[in-house]
């Protein structure tokens, strides 16, 4: 088996333990080597400790390989991605561990189209990393220094706003709670909402690498205090980002945390009606709720189910064209802006949607089909998890199935997904059904199949 560095979303690890300065230097030299000499590369970071350290190291490694480095410094991942594409950079490097706990950091590589590099390019970077076949240019060809590039944030905010009917939204004078998790979303989302005439209440908006307000992953539990603030201040809604602001989780005006696939369903329906010229397709991973099909099918929009992982969704959206792409965790992709997850763009679209519909967000969520949900996992190695998937598929063979990543079984009033995790030795189980008993019944069947496989 070949050695691997990249996980599902870049290289990640605990700072100075799993991700060391030496590794970052080798990685930066390898990344520089895959781009042509003289390429322009934009570098940015989120608020995490180690981010400054890794940025200096990455810049040094890139310069040694003969590329020109531009330093956007603190910036959301979607802003860096947009600017790479829009300003004609050859690539980008983002230093972030997204939603991981504070002790983590990571490095991801962005291609000239503003999307993470595809798997085959990651394999090339890994090959250069392990073989040490770095390109080292002569001293005369070294860049003098990295060029500071603080305008990246302005370019991004302006681009997001260009897709919104500002006059219509400003008239409504919305009240919005913004919780950027003490990280880089604080640099863009309050500005976007303010430019759209909203009254803003910020929560956890001072930059702090210890994430004192909440963990950088937006979950129902981690957002309980923010949700209370939304309800008590009478805000129209709240938006909470993860550590690099590519995700946006919505809290509705009743203070309920709404999961990303429900928000995406509301947005996708709105966009399908607003942009009849866009190809009648929406892209998401099998881990999303089938509520998207319930709502979009009657409108003649196809839901394309893909493997879990945002890069695959982005690339399919570009290749085949569509209305949007999304992940159930709050990553929403609006292709007319940029086909990657983008928390700031999602916030702006929500404001536009709310300005045009004569309803509250809570009313819109309540109109969606209601499901009872269970998400759980059972520890087991990958081989066993694969066997459980096969047996579950066999057991439910009379139902519609999607088998591109584990098995997703879709019935009339329920659906469930059973899949081996890509990152830990566990079997992941997600079940949704119209009634609670059905959820419990399905969970019991899946658990007993898993038990049989484990004890065998």
- The residues of the shown chain that bind Mg ion, judged by CB under 5 A, are 98, 242, 244, 246
Q: What angle do CA 130, 77, 324 make, to 5 degrees?
A: 110
Strand 237-241 versus strand 248-251 pairing type: antiparallel
d(CA 251, CA 249): 7
CB of 12 to Mg ion, least distance (A): 11
Strand 248-251 versus strand 281-285 pairing type: unpaired
Buried-state track 382-420, b at ≥16 Cβ within 10 A, e below 16: eebbebbbebbbeebeebeebeebbbbbbbeebbbbbbb
Q: Among this protein's residues, is 65 annotated catalytic? A: no
CB of 100 to Mg ion, least distance (A): 9
CB proximity list for 73: less than 8 A, separation 6 or greater: 44, 45, 55, 148, 150
Q: Residue 76 or residue 91: which is nearer to Mg ion going by CB?
A: 76
Containing H/E element for 284?
Answer: strand 281-285
CB of 176 to Mg ion, least distance (A): 20
Handedness of CA 406, 378, 326, 333 (dihedral sign): negative
CB of 202 to Mg ion, least distance (A): 19
CB of 223 to Mg ion, least distance (A): 15
Q: Residue 98 or residue 205: which is nearer to Mg ion going by CB?
A: 98
d(CA 215, CA 271): 32
Q: Residue 13 or residue 32: which is nearer to Mg ion going by CB?
A: 13
Tell the burial category of 131 from Cβ atoms under 10 Å away from its Cβ (0-12, 13-18, 19+): exposed
Closest residue to bound Mg ion by CB: 98
Backbone angles phi, psi at 334, to 5 degrees: -110, 105
Residue 236 in tokens: 């129209």
Residue 400 in tokens: 């519609």
**Three-state DSSP class for residue 276:** coil
How many whole angstroms from its chain centre is CA 435? 30
Q: Residue 126 or residue 246: which is nearer to Mg ion going by CB?
A: 246
What residues form DSSP beta bridges with 281? 302
CB of 46 to Mg ion, least distance (A): 9
Buried-state track 68-85, b at ≥16 Cβ within 10 A, e below 16: bbbbbbbbbbbbbbbbbb
Q: Residue 98 or residue 284: which is nearer to Mg ion going by CB?
A: 98
Q: Residue 71 or residue 327: which is nearer to Mg ion going by CB?
A: 327
- Find the catalytic residue in 39, 64, 98, 222: 98
- What one-character-per-residue DSSP string does 160-178 give? HHTTS-HHHHHHH--EEEE
What residues form DSSP beta bridges with 249? 240
CB of 192 to Mg ion, least distance (A): 17
How many whole angstroms from its chain centre is CA 441? 32
Strand 426-433 versus strand 237-241 pairing type: unpaired
CB of 341 to Mg ion, least distance (A): 7
Q: Residue 180 or residue 406: which is nearer to Mg ion going by CB?
A: 180
Q: Where are the alpha helices (DSSP H) in 102-239?
A: 119-131, 152-161, 166-172, 189-195, 224-232
Q: Residue 181 or residue 364: which is nearer to Mg ion going by CB?
A: 181
For the annotated catalytic residues, the residue numbers are: 98
């Amino acid at each position: 088996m070949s050695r691997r560095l990249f996980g599902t979303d870049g290289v990640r690890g605990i700072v100075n333990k799993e991700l060391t300065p030496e590794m970052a230097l080798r990685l930066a030299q390898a990344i520089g080597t895959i781009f042509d000499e003289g390429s322009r590369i934009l570098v940015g970071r989120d608020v995490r400790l180690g981010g400054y350290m890794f940025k200096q190291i990455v810049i040094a490694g890139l310069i040694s390989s003969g590329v020109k480095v531009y330093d956007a410094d603190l910036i959301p991942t979607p802003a860096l991605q947009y600017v790479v594409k829009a300003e004609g950079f050859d690539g980008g490097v983002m230093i972030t561990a997204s939603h991981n706990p504070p002790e983590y950091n990571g490095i991801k590589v962005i291609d000239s189209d503003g999307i993470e590099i595809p798997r085959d390019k990651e394999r090339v970077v890994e090959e250069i990393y392990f073989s040490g076949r770095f390109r080292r240019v002569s001293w005369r060809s070294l860049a003098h220094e990295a060029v500071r590039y603080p305008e990246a944030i302005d370019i991004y905010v302006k681009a997001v706003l260009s897709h919104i009917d500002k006059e219509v939204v400003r008239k409504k004078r919305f009240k919005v709670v913004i919780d950027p998790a003490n990280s880089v979303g604080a640099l863009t989302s309050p500005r976007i909402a303010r430019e759209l005439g909203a009254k803003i209440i910020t929560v956890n908006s001072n930059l702090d690498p210890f994430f004192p307000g909440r963990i950088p992953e937006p979950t129902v539990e981690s957002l309980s205090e923010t949700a209370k603030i939304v309800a008590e201040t009478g805000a129209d809604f709240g938006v909470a980002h993860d550590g690099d602001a590519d995700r946006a989780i919505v809290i509705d005006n009743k203070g309920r945390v709404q999961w990303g696939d429900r928000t995406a369903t509301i947005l996708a329906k709105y966009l399908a009606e607003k942009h009849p010229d866009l190809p009648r397709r929406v892209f998401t991973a099998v881990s999303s709720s089938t509520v998207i099909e319930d709502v979009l099918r009657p409108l003649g929009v196809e839901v394309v189910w893909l493997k879990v992982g945002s890069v695959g969704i982005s690339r399919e959206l570009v290749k085949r064209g569509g209305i949007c792409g999304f992940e159930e965790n709050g990553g929403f992709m609006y292709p007319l802006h940029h086909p990657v997850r983008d928390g700031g763009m999602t916030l702006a679209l929500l404001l536009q949607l709310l300005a045009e519909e004569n309803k509250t967000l809570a009313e819109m969520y309540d109109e969606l089909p209601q499901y009872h949900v269970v998400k759980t996992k059972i520890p087991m190695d990958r081989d066993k998890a694969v066997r459980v998937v096969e047996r579950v598929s066999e057991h439910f063979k009379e139902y519609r199935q999607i088998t591109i990543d584990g098995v997703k079984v879709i019935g009339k009033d329920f659906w469930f997904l059973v899949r081996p995790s890509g990152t830990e030795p566990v079997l992941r189980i997600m079940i949704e059904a119209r009634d609670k008993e059905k959820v419990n019944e399905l969970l019991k069947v899946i658990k007993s199949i898993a038990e049989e496989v484990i004890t065998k």
